[in-house]
Structure 1
């Protein structure tokens, strides 16, 4: 029988795989370094897996093999032109990462009619939606990619691995780089606010992704931070494609 506990949601990103059952996705999300380790960590064998993969192509093959061997139904979620009242602005939806699409689908359940969704991971994406119409968005290098670019393309710049927990000016090179990259991420948020204000309508900004705490200051401005927007989007697909879930509740 299909239940909330037997449905697994998996967000396979560029760095980690995040996973959780549909029953727990609002409380806690787990992570794994590899598909093999993820399978070992599962307490029980699921009946259905909903997968978003923007990582390596072989990840999908590993899931197909595992699901075939264990008689599990695999739902590979791709970007669509229209779903849940959300209209994609891309002419070629295959060029939009499914993580961006799912982040909008997830944010749509907690946002006002006009909103921006900012997802902070290896890259930072920002997408705008107004009355169900995706207006477009931005893609920016994430914190680590910014630092790596400076190290790669300059001769005397060094960095450290610490993620800033406060915002200030730096007083050595490593701190200056860290604070500069953090300032750039804050710039995405402030630019999103500026763009949404031009719409002259109430709006929300929803922030997710592994680096969401770098914009924690925005929470005091009314923006909403969530654990994993992609997983929220996968949950909507699971609930819409598995009617048995609703009838069993």
Structure 2
């Protein structure tokens, strides 16, 4: 079977095309707050691939999701939206109100949760999300603004400071305003992660665009980087329904 796996995030649309568990195509594009329009531009390409089904993870609101469905219906193949469950494939959701847990976080945990392991799963994306597991029990987690959201917030509220897009690579005390801001934000996020990891022994798993950057400074925890963890979780989620 040839399938399309879609991850519609807050700022990007990512997809895989797979056939017999082999990735034939993988793409990530900024959707500029209009994922449906981006998808409409891709629909003819998807039609040419003779796909069998579509699996979707979307953090968009109902209006955007309805537009996404309308566009995908042009493919005339089954469409499955992933949803958070109180229990799925043995994994128990840690939220009292499961609808409040983002599907992106749920699928990332679902992709790696194991009965014999306690995990700290961190997504270094638009927000820095931290989810904890004890075996197959999801314990909940934390959400904090990522590096760039914190920096942009400071820029907006600090008159006269212009901070360019430079790497958050150093942790030494800044000797100018630009370095002080970047190093301070990064140090704060790393300190948050260390505090969480000190609560109990856990395997640290990082995913998202800045995973390698964080891993470089968290070597004491032997972090494991899992690229495209959400899409792996989505694939597992849908295939579990088919079996």
Is TM > 0.5 for Structure 1 vs Structure 2? yes
Q: Where do residues 10-89 of structure 1 align in structure 2 (5 Å cutoff)?
A: 10-22=6-18, 23-24=21-22, 29-33=26-30, 34-39=38-43, 42=46, 44-89=49-94
1:237 corresponds in structure 2 to 237
1:247 corresponds in structure 2 to none
Partners of 2:62 and 2:166 lie apart in 1 by 30
Partners of 2:116 and 2:153 lie apart in 1 by 36
**1:204: how far off?**
0.8
The answer to whether the 8 A contact 1:14-1:56 is kept is: no
Mark the runs of 5 or more structure 1 residues left unpaired by the alignment: 198-202, 244-249
SS of the equivalent of 1:178 reads helix
Alignment size in residue pairs: 232
The answer to whether the 8 A contact 2:43-2:72 is kept is: no
Higher relative contact order, chain-length normalized (CA < 8 Å, sep 6+)? 1
When residues 87 and 20 of structure 1 are mapped into structure 2, their CA distance, relative to the original with a 3 A threshold, is: same
Partners of 1:215 and 1:231 lie apart in 2 by 21
What is the TM-score with the length of structure 1 in the denominator? 0.84
When residues 116 and 11 of structure 1 are mapped into structure 2, their CA distance, relative to the original with a 3 A threshold, is: same
Over the aligned positions, Cα root-mean-square deviation in angstroms equals: 2.3
Q: Where do residues 135-214 of structure 1 align in structure 2 (5 Å cutoff)?
A: 135-197=139-201, 203-214=202-213
What is the TM-score with the length of structure 2 in the denominator? 0.86
The answer to whether the 8 A contact 1:12-1:52 is kept is: yes
